[in-house]
Amino acid sequence: MIKVMLADDQKILSEGIKSVLETCPDITVCGIAYDGLQAVEMAKKLQPDVILMDVRMPEMNGVAATKRIKESCPDIKIIILTTFDDSDYILSGINNGASGYLLKDIGSAALIDAIKNAYAGDTILPSKIAKKIADAAMLVSSDKQIKLKKAYGLSDREVDIALMLADGFTNRQIASAIKLSDGTARNYISSIYLKLGVDSRMSAINKIKEIT
């Protein structure tokens, strides 16, 4: 049984989502928080498997609440569920530990599948959200790109991935953002390590940040 907690200040919407989720025999809704601060407190107490987290809430926004929850309860999977598809929210949510990002126009079956997939460890990014992440990740100055190419001989794709590494993206998030298989993303990252002359992620990030 997957324990799901909801965090949304719109009570009617929360109750509607609860009703939808409880049609699935594999899911139980263990609690509903109506602001970000309450979400942090309830997450610690209830220890849900998955949280559906709204972005704009009183007391504390969903991105900040996600960060706080992941710091104290790193095993909880958090899916940002909101009406907003702004790339700043997307990147902030993912960089603060969210397992994915969904828009509230998602269908019932797709929402249930997303919860199950997040619980299994997958990154949840619908295609139009993944495109926004890719676009935002690639909105870097040509100066940074030129520096990385000149310093280490990285290809265009390797430059894009290197910059995402420096921004804290995981291998799976990189693969989702630029539509690669996990294995292909790992191969690119291995090639980047080789060209940078490093053998660890942190060493690679440090070198990339030195240049950019």
DSSP helix/strand/coil, 48 = coil
- pLDDT computed for residue 70 by the predictor: 95
Lowest mean pLDDT among 20-24, 64-68, 81-85: 81-85
Q: What are the domain boundaries of the chain?
A: 2-125, 140-211
Lowest mean pLDDT among 44-48, 51-55, 102-106: 102-106
Instruction: For Cα atoms 167, 155, 172, give the angle at the middle one, nearest 5 degrees.
Output: 40
- Percent of the chain surpassing pLDDT 90: 61
Give the up-direction half-sphere exposure of residue 144: CA atoms within 13 A in the CB hemisphere.
Answer: 18
The more confident residue out of 137 and 193 is: 193
| Whether residue 44 has pLDDT greater than 60 | yes
Confidence band (pLDDT; 50, 70, 90) for 85? Answer: low
| Per-range mean pLDDT, top range of 25-34, 58-67, 140-149 | 25-34
Give φ, ψ of 33 to 5 degrees. Answer: -105, 145
Interatomic CA distance for residues 48 and 43, integer angstroms: 6
Q: Average the pLDDT over 56-68 and give the result.
A: 92
Single pTM value for the model:
0.65
- pLDDT computed for residue 137 by the predictor: 61
DSSP helix/strand/coil, 121 = coil
In Å, how far are 61, 89, 169 from 85, measured between CA atoms? 15, 7, 19
pLDDT digits over 109-154, tens only? Answer: 999 999 999 999 988 877 766 766 666 666 555 667 888 888 889 9
Q: Would you state the structure tokens that stand for residue 22, as one six-digit string?
A: 């409880």
Give the number of other CB atoms < 10 A from CB of residue 92.
19
Q: Would you state the structure tokens that stand for residue 151, as one six-digit string?
A: 């310093």
- pLDDT computed for residue 90 by the predictor: 74
**CATH fold for the domain made of 2-125:** Rossmann fold (3.40.50)
Interatomic CA distance for residues 56 and 157, integer angstroms: 34
**CATH fold for the domain made of 140-211:** Arc Repressor Mutant, subunit A (1.10.10)
- pLDDT computed for residue 188 by the predictor: 95
Give the number of other CB atoms < 10 A from CB of residue 163.
20
